[in-house]
A and B are shown apart, each in its own frame.
Chain A
């Protein structure tokens, strides 16, 4: 019991342990709900809900009516869970605190401008989500959930993601790569 308490209080777990348990979560999603874990799907539903509230005519299309309907789906609830799961984990390790900038490595490379960080955070999010749409899912919904079913799509996605991720990091870091 004490060892479990210690484990929960630890800030970083072995990625093998955390990853293995994630595999169990992926299994349970299929076993209990016949669903695949996936974070980007929920954002499509949320965008539909917000879009229909703001500009109902533009968002009244095939995509937001049928493909990714503008409603609270399994994936939206999953996102809510992920948020509180992150919070709970930070609480157990005592690392929960409001902050507006990421870790030191960011500042060393991009400087301490908050506008720059927030701009890139927004742009990065938009690019990630659009790319996930084209690919058919993101790191969780396609790479992990598709990969565990042995879908070729997942391995193509992972190959593309690492190829361009490595190139992008190399361009950003140059001498410090």
Chain B
């Protein structure tokens, strides 16, 4: 299947970029939560802004159709995010950065990290039927976009997001960032 070659190539570029952005380091992930190194936020928001503009433009031109929009069910999305943040601040990685970090020779990512993900995946799959249907029914809005939900033009939202990102980047790069109390020892 040609599609799998695409997955392989895109995966390689994805892992490459995670490494070059420094996100395969424990300190880069944790320090975004300490508000002393905002590389993770800059990486995520620039990626989002570029992809948003490109996707909505390509759809506007009729070149692509959107895949299924990830479902919104407020309680589950939020609670999942809340638990996720704890794991990320503890371990210093998320699923993608753990795999990319394993590739650069980090054995703590490759062995206990990946085994942890497999264990968590098994636990989720085995408890899925008693957990997921309930939580995904709470405050559920289905596969909608913000534009559909609020009934506003998506381009307005894309523009607002891009502008917000630029302002935030400017502020971060011009002093709106905490001094790292550990910087002396680094």
Contacts and interface: CB of A to CB of B under 8 A. Distances in A.
Interface of A: 10-13, 15-16, 18-37, 39-40, 43-44, 46-48, 50-51, 58-59, 61-64, 67-68, 74-75, 77-90, 93, 95-106, 108, 114, 117-170, 172-173, 175-177
A111 to B, nearest CB: 14
B128 A138 contact: no
B120 A83 contact: no
B59 to A, nearest CB: 9
Interface in B49-108: 49-52, 54-55, 58, 63-67, 69-74, 76-108
Given A125-B119, A153-B71, A99 B92 contact: no
A108 B182 contact: yes
29 contacts: A16-B46, A23-B47, A27-B51, A28-B10, A63-B129, A77-B11, A85-B19, A86-B99, A88-B103, A89-B20, A90-B19, A102-B25, A118-B108, A119-B112, A120-B90, A125-B113, A127-B83, A128-B87, A129-B120, A132-B80, A133-B124, A142-B77, A147-B48, A150-B158, A152-B146, A156-B74, A161-B81, A161-B82, A167-B85
A132 B112 contact: no
Top 5 closest pairs, chain A to chain B, by CB: A81-B11, A125-B116, A135-B80, A160-B81, A85-B15
Contact of A85 (B16, B70, B121, B145): B16
Contact of B89 (A27, A129, A131, A165): A165
B10 A29 contact: yes
A156 B78 contact: yes
B98 to A, nearest CB: 7
A144 B47 contact: yes
Contacts of B19: 85-86, 89-90
B88 to A, nearest CB: 6
Contacts, number: 519
B137 to A, nearest CB: 13
A175 B64 CA distance: 51
Which interface residue of B84, B106, B111 has the most chain A CB atoms within 10 A? B84
Interface residues of B, number: 127
B34 A169 contact: yes
B32 to A, nearest CB: 8
Contacts of B177: none
A85 B79 contact: no
Which interface residue of A15, A24, A93, A177 has the most chain B CB atoms within 10 A? A15
Given A12-B22, A90-B103, A78 B123 contact: no
Which interface residue of A30, A78, A173 has the most chain B CB atoms within 10 A? A78
Interface string B11-39: 11111111111101111001111110001
Contact of B95 (A80, A139, A169): A139
Interface string B138-181: 00010111110100001001100000000001000000000001
